[in-house]
Amino acid sequence: MAWRSSGTSNSELIENLWRNEMIKHPDAKSAFLKVDRAHYAPRSPYEDCPQPIGHHATISAPHMHASAVEHLLPFITPSEERPGPRVLDIGSGSGYLTHVLAELVGEQGKVVGVEHISELKELGERNMKKSKEGRELIEKGRVRFRVGDGRRGWIDDEDAEGKGKGWDAIHVGAAAVKVHEELLEQLASPGRMFIPVEDEGEGQGWGQHIWCVDKDEKGEVRKRKLFGVRYVPLTDAPKA
């Protein structure tokens, strides 16, 4: 039903994703309604399709962002056990999903977007600053954008409070050749990762599936293969 979710406005797009059950939880719907995709997509922002944003990167289709949020939701919303969720968004690109995640983590939460290309890191920051809400999230430190190799995750030296805690949720927005060990090490116990992975033996092609990776309180890891996708690869930054 994803192809039927396009709209003529942000609210219509989100309502269509809701009606087609791409968005299922009211908290997720509320967060998406707060973030206008027109600030992030270069053209036709309310079409349910991916779009290029330069530097061999794309902004994913809205239904894929919806799927990521729905799967990660228990780990990105505040609770008694997790009052300030810590979320890592690898391949933050346009900054759209980074902003949506920041709307969900609450006042004590934190989202870090990591890009391996400085121009894309700056693009995400600029896009978020197009709205009053986005500017406030950045000013409060609820969102930070950083440049780094997403395959190695991110350890924030500026975040003394978060040292040793790990990330409650990790979203990866590009296809990895495997579930990288450093990402697993940085995932909290319990924690969850949503990551596209190239199918074994396919190389850097289009044989990919989304994996939902859970780490329990004891540190044991369980991986579930969800559905096939087409993402750009999680690789070195392209040479100029």
Q: Which of 5, 6, 60, 67 is catalytic?
A: 60
Q: Catalytic: 131? A: no
| Per-residue tokens: 95 | 């900054």
- Going by C-alpha positions, the residue among 18, 69, 11 that lies closest to residue 37 is 11
Distance CA 227, CA 155 (A): 30
Residues in the chain: 240
d(CA 72, CA 218): 19
Q: Supply the DSSP string of 173-222, one letter for each residue.
A: -SBBSS--HHHHHHEEEEEEEEEEEEPTT--SSS-EEEEEEEE-TT--EE
Nearest to 97 by CA among 146, 162, 28: 28
Query: Is the separation of the CB atoms in 202 and 175 below 8 Å?
Result: no
Query: Three-class SS of residue 37?
Result: helix
In angstroms and rounded to an integer, the radius of gyration of the C-alpha atoms of the chain is: 16
From the list 193, 6, 36, 188, the residue with the least C-alpha distance to 103 is: 36
Active site residues: 60
